[in-house]
Structure 1
Amino acid sequence: MSNFHERSNIADVIAQADAREVIRGIAPEVLDSSLADGSTSFPLARILGVILDDADPRIAQILAALGNIEDHTPRPVVGERITPQPDYEGDDVERGSAPVTVPAGVEVNRMAEIVISGPSHGNPFTDVDVTAVFTLGERELRVGGFYDGGDRYVIRFLPPVPGSWRFQTSSTARSLDAITGILDVSGGEERGAVHADGMHFAYADGTPFVPMGTTSYAWTHQEQERQEQTLAALSKTSFNKLRMGLFPKHFIYNENEPDDFVFPRAGEEFDTTRFDVEFFRRFERRLEQLDELGIQADLILFHPYDRWGFAHLGRAVDDRYVSYVVRRLAAFPNVWWSLANEYDLLLTKDVGDWDRIGALVRENDPFGHPLSIHNWVDIWDYSSPWATHASIQHGEMLGAKVREWRRTWNKPVVVDECGYEGDIDQGWGFLSAQDEMHRFWSVAMGGGYATHGETYWAEGDVIFWAKGGQLRGGSPDRIAFLQSVIAESPTGRLEPLPSDFDAVHAGVAGEYVLIYFGGGQPAFRSISIPSGVRAHVDVIDAWSMTIDRLPGLHEGDIRVDLPARPYTAIRITAASTATD
């Protein structure tokens, strides 16, 4: 046991009589707040700052007094680390004797699955480790395998280039050890996995990838009919990234019980030494369907909204879970990794835990998929060597903040939670479509990328942000329009440019410039075409999704008439890069 501290769960403090009386004696109004109703899971000091005020001296008094009180909250028993067994098979078993199936017709940037038929006694999930080293000339990739139930051991490879890749296995099971083979990989048309590319993203073949995603945290934990509705809804949009979790979610508007889980379940108990392979096979089919739609699956490994115990499994089980998931899914070309949604609400993990988990993902993902972590309040320091990009929750001064974050970390910035378009009774979930669209434009003009979410309520608490289903909002079409505007840039991307005090500029210097007025509504604007450039000039209405081109080519200083309404922009395109 330990004493209460600033990161203790306020629900645990309220539930313990002596600790609750400390708060009652110093700041009784805290107990009247909905944030302290005993069902929340928030860090004590942060919530006291919200309920009272960060500058209230009583916060320090409460923390000091609670620091002398032992926290008697019952803690779940966490699993122990289990080491693969080097004597899993006896010396009488011939090394490398297990039958192996090597696929034919493999193409570059498409997952190839090598299947080995092996032993299944004991618990192969923990007793057996199998890896393979793939070599092509001087190139070498070490790929972890996984147990897939029955007699199946699988090694999945995402070939980055064509050629005859030689492989050799290593395993604690003698029959799976020292198996050799050749995987012949031909050319193909797949673009491959997405990677961070400077301040932006690109597919393996170099094609720019501009993430314009949406959110449906628990859509794969719903009934099959709703999952199909979700895919159908996504197919009608231009969204190309989806934030989603492996664990189910327990939160407002999302309290149903899933049919299956990452771990097998008997009654109320989960066996965290094994994995439910049927769950993963169904989940993988959804990943394939997203890939067919051109959608990246941004997979959230941990989150705090939990009633099953997945948020506090302990280090050994966390590591076993992460290793299995990454080994199993890393060869899907459309996968991203998010260590956590709102990491700072996972109160049993500290910075060291997240650094360990981030390194573990990197170790088990030889294909280098994007990897980040997402905050509630405390933004992560993305200088962490395992982080490929920033994944941030923030809703104010977005353009300026994105520019600042880019300078700070020199990595791509994705505002994965900027607020949701909807009508629920929560401030984060009742933005107008105009506000959601404007936030996307603000982030894009800062050189970053935003992620959409929709929280319109429907009977049965069916909200897309939580459960998927149907999209009903007005912002997705406008986000698609913004995508098309960015795609017309010579580079297919936007860079922040020197701006005016009342309008932001972005584009490609000297070739393609957007001037965005946000909520302002000027009736005209005087602009300067760069010296020596003759350009097309367009007036863009982000809400109406119209582009009106001024007649002729323009140079020098000109006046541009505008519609005197919000969300308009001027686009300047050098004639040498325009389609006349």
Structure 2
Amino acid sequence: MFTKILLRLFLCVWFCRALPSVAQTTIVNKPIERWGLYEVALAGPSSGNPFTDVQLTAEFSSGDKHITVTGFYDGNGTYKIRFMPSEIGKWSYRTVSNAKQLAGKSGSFVCITPSESNHGPVNVWNTYNFQYANGKPYYPFGTTAYAWTNQPELVQEQTLATLKKAPFNKIRMCVFPKTYSYVEEEPTMYAYEEKSRTQGPNGTIRHEWDFTRFNPAFFQHLEKRIADLARLNIEADLIIFHPYDKGRWGFDNMGMKNDLFYIKYLVARLSAYQNVWWSMANEFDYIKTKPRDAWDVYSKTVVDADPYHHLCSIHNGSDYYDNWKPYFTHVSIQNGSTVDDFGRAVLLRDAYRKPVIYDEVCYEGNLPQRWGHLSPEEMTEAFWQGIIAGTYVTHGETYRTPGDTIFWAEGGKLHGQSPSRIGFLRNLLEQEPGPLELADPWKDHRTSQADSSHYLIYFGKQMQSEWLFNLPKKGAPAAGTVFKAELIDTWNMTITPISDTFRLTDVKDYRVYDDKMQKIRLPMRPYLAIRLTQVKQ
């Protein structure tokens, strides 16, 4: 009898002790919006080197859909797994790990309808353009602030305040700090654990890093800023490598093994953020420590590690990379001449048959370098030349103002006159029923259309007293169609309705005209445009 009582007590104690373990293993969490970020945090081993010794993945399942994501070590014995659900409904997960504390953990959550401001990640649409995952068109109107997250906290907050009021919905930014003209600050945090530090005779600091151990605080800060941008509906075009190290920190010369280790850690941490884009490099061909064929290895690693297939590109200095390769979703180009005049921007679009973003066309500013002193008119003109050709352009500002930062590298405040004009153009484009493209790219580089009912004709620097109403035959609606017209002053940001209407007549020599051969009188000013909209009858 005594033996039976002891056995019952043992079973009772064992069962009570087992209950918390079961509760910890299966976790049901609060609902997550579609394309939101779901995070699992687990306690695990901190001895040895958790970055290299521990492998952690999780399979997320919903119905027939199964997605495997990689976890990462976040310091202080904490491991994290992040997931971005693409489908509404219940999702479950289960972990796999070589560490017992992390293996076999399971849980679930419900993915709910996204809020109005949550459009999801940006994808390529219709060969040459972009749209959000929910189908809303996305037109990249970007800017540049390479090292803004490596600046003092007050400058970073000023950058966010500036971006909140600016017209930009994308920002090109680096992971690593940079040392370049007018950018010499030492960052407050680094991506790696520091082994030693020495100071040279001229005051320069020399670091020795452990490239097998990341500094989680650095990446936590970067994530915070990416989330800040997401709240402003700004895409973070994240530059993974760049040539502006020059031996100061050595992040441009870590060797392929360490480069790949860094890429996998970066993607594991950031890929669940919906507003992340991957830019393999800024001016890849100026990074002399990496042979050209290494970029295939790096690019494939990013694409294979990212379960959500975020947008991915590679940016050139002087030589274009092989942008036709499948790793790259779109083309990122440095070349100001492509948007200097009519008919140039469309050429690379036709060659690559992918969306083209002229991410560096020189900068509005007052620096003596040839790339740093575009006038605001020239920067605005570059955007118009890109947009009417069915491509896109990225802004940058390099005004050197006493007591202030230079936005192109450090962020802070904007001083230029082009951003408001760029915002005016963005509003015009977003009023169209779809993206613009040249109506007749062979012979007419001024006339762009969203469809046969909506045209935008841009005159650029040309000044003329009148414009004879005419459209290319290609894509034009039938004779008898009536259009209304508006005169747009792209610099003064005004839209003036034209009182007359215009009725199309039959095709004559590849053009269609108004049946009365009417003309629109123009003020003798540069940077004018005409918007035509079909009148429903």
Q: TM-score range by the shorter chain?
A: 0.7 to 0.9
Q: What's the secondary structure of 1:278's corresponding residue?
A: helix
From 477, 480, 498, the counterpart of 1:532? 480
- 1:6 is aligned to none
- 1:246 is aligned to 175
* AA at the equivalent of 1:105: P
1:204-283 mapped onto 2 (5 Å cutoff): 204-265=133-194, 266-267=196-197, 268-283=207-222
CA drift at 1:317: 0.5
1:462-507 per-residue CA deviation (whole Å, 9 max, x = no partner) reads 200011111010000000011011111112x212221596751112
Preserved CA contact (<8 Å) 2:448 2:457 = yes
- Looking at structure 2, the residues matched to 175 and 477 of structure 1 have their Cα atoms a distance apart, in angstroms, of 54
1:127-164 per-residue CA deviation (whole Å, 9 max, x = no partner) reads 11111111222222111111111121111011111111
From 474, 490, 498, the counterpart of 2:417? 474
* AA at the equivalent of 1:173: A
- 1:486 is aligned to 429
Q: What's the secondary structure of 2:224's corresponding residue?
A: helix
- 1:520 is aligned to 462
* AA at the equivalent of 1:569: A
Distance 1:502 1:174, change over 3 A: same
- 1:89 is aligned to none
From 223, 226, 229, the counterpart of 1:290? 229
Runs (5+) with no aligned partner, structure 2: 1-20, 198-206, 472-476, 505-513
1:62-113 per-residue CA deviation (whole Å, 9 max, x = no partner) reads xxxxxxxxxxxxxxxxxxxxxxxxxxxxxxxxx9998576531211111110
How well do the aligned residues superpose, as a CA RMSD in angstroms? 1.9
Q: What's the secondary structure of 1:174's corresponding residue?
A: coil
* AA at the equivalent of 1:505: T
Preserved CA contact (<8 Å) 2:27 2:106 = no
Q: What's the secondary structure of 1:380's corresponding residue?
A: coil
What is the TM-score when the length of structure 1 is the normalising length?
Answer: 0.80
Preserved CA contact (<8 Å) 1:244 1:298 = yes
1:409-430 per-residue CA deviation (whole Å, 9 max, x = no partner) reads 2111000001100001111010
Q: Which has the larger radius of gyration?
A: 2
1:216-242 per-residue CA deviation (whole Å, 9 max, x = no partner) reads 000111111111111111111110001
- Tell me if 1:567 matches 2:523: no
Preserved CA contact (<8 Å) 1:327 1:365 = yes
- Looking at structure 2, the residues matched to 146 and 246 of structure 1 have their Cα atoms a distance apart, in angstroms, of 18
* AA at the equivalent of 1:336: W
Distance 1:144 1:479, change over 3 A: same
Which consecutive segments of 4 or more residues in structure 1 shift more than 6 A? 95-98
From 519, 529, 541, the counterpart of 2:489? 541
- 1:504 is aligned to 446
1:413-424 mapped onto 2 (5 Å cutoff): 413-424=356-367
What is the TM-score when the length of structure 2 is the normalising length?
Answer: 0.86
CA drift at 1:166: 2.1
- Tell me if 1:455 matches 2:384: no
- Looking at structure 1, the residues matched to 82 and 458 of structure 2 have their Cα atoms a distance apart, in angstroms, of 46
- 1:305 is aligned to 244
Distance 1:478 1:271, change over 3 A: same
1:36-435 mapped onto 2 (5 Å cutoff): 103-189=29-115, 190-197=118-125, 198-265=127-194, 266-267=196-197, 268-306=207-245, 307-398=248-339, 400-435=343-378
Q: What's the secondary structure of 2:101's corresponding residue?
A: helix
Distance 1:349 1:97, change over 3 A: farther
* AA at the equivalent of 1:464: F
Q: What's the secondary structure of 1:377's corresponding residue?
A: coil
Q: What's the secondary structure of 2:95's corresponding residue?
A: strand
Q: Which structure shows the higher strand fraction?
A: 2
Distance 1:383 1:328, change over 3 A: same
Preserved CA contact (<8 Å) 1:135 1:167 = yes
- 2:10 is aligned to none
- Looking at structure 1, the residues matched to 46 and 83 of structure 2 have their Cα atoms a distance apart, in angstroms, of 23
Distance 1:243 1:101, change over 3 A: farther
- Looking at structure 1, the residues matched to 209 and 95 of structure 2 have their Cα atoms a distance apart, in angstroms, of 31
- Looking at structure 2, the residues matched to 164 and 258 of structure 1 have their Cα atoms a distance apart, in angstroms, of 43
Distance 1:264 1:369, change over 3 A: same
- Looking at structure 2, the residues matched to 403 and 102 of structure 1 have their Cα atoms a distance apart, in angstroms, of 51
Preserved CA contact (<8 Å) 1:264 1:275 = yes
Q: What's the secondary structure of 1:363's corresponding residue?
A: helix
Preserved CA contact (<8 Å) 1:494 1:507 = yes
- Looking at structure 1, the residues matched to 289 and 501 of structure 2 have their Cα atoms a distance apart, in angstroms, of 62
Corresponding residue pairs, total: 482
Q: What's the secondary structure of 1:287's corresponding residue?
A: helix
CA drift at 1:397: 3.6
Preserved CA contact (<8 Å) 2:141 2:168 = yes
Runs (5+) with no aligned partner, structure 1: 1-94
- Looking at structure 2, the residues matched to 138 and 244 of structure 1 have their Cα atoms a distance apart, in angstroms, of 37
- Looking at structure 2, the residues matched to 503 and 370 of structure 1 have their Cα atoms a distance apart, in angstroms, of 29
Preserved CA contact (<8 Å) 1:323 1:364 = yes
* AA at the equivalent of 1:470: K
